[in-house]
Amino acid sequence: MLPNTRRSLGASVRQHTLMKTVITSVSLIACIFGAQLSAQTQSCSYDRCALRLQYRASGVRLVQGRDATQVARIGLFAPRVSLFANADDSTRFHYDAFREYHNRGATFGLVSLALLLGGAAAYYSTDQDSRRWPGVTLFVIGFGVSFAAGVNTRRGQDELSRTIWFYNRTLTAQ
Amino acid 47: pLDDT = 87
- pLDDT band at residue 29 using 50, 70 and 90 as cut-offs: low
Residue ranges of E strands in the chain: 51-56, 59-64, 69-74
Question: Containing H/E element for 22?
Answer: helix 2-42
Contact call for residues 78 and 156 (beta carbons, < 8 A): yes
Residue 47, phi then psi, degrees to nearest 5: -60, -35
Measured in whole angstroms, the distance separating CA 5 from the mean position of its chain's CA atoms is 52
pLDDT, the chain, mean:
83
- pLDDT band at residue 142 using 50, 70 and 90 as cut-offs: very high
Residue ranges of E strands in 38-171: 51-56, 59-64, 69-74
Amino acid 58: pLDDT = 87
Average of pLDDT values for 150-160? 97
- pLDDT band at residue 160 using 50, 70 and 90 as cut-offs: very high
Higher pLDDT, 172 or 170: 170
pLDDT digits (tens, 9 = 90+) for 30-74: 545 544 444 344 577 888 999 999 999 988 999 999 999 999 999
Domain ranges of the chain: 1-43, 78-168
Amino acid 128: pLDDT = 83
Amino acid 126: pLDDT = 83
| Sheet architecture: strand order including 69-74 | 51-56, 59-64, 69-74
Over 70: is that where the pLDDT of 15 sits? no
Q: Does the CA dihedral 160-164-165-170 come out positive or negative?
A: positive
Average of pLDDT values for 120-142? 89
Percent of the chain with pLDDT over 90: 61
Over 50: is that where the pLDDT of 16 sits? yes
Which residues are CB-contacts of 123 (< 8 A; sequence separation ≥ 6)?
132, 135, 136, 139
Model's pTM, two decimal places? 0.70
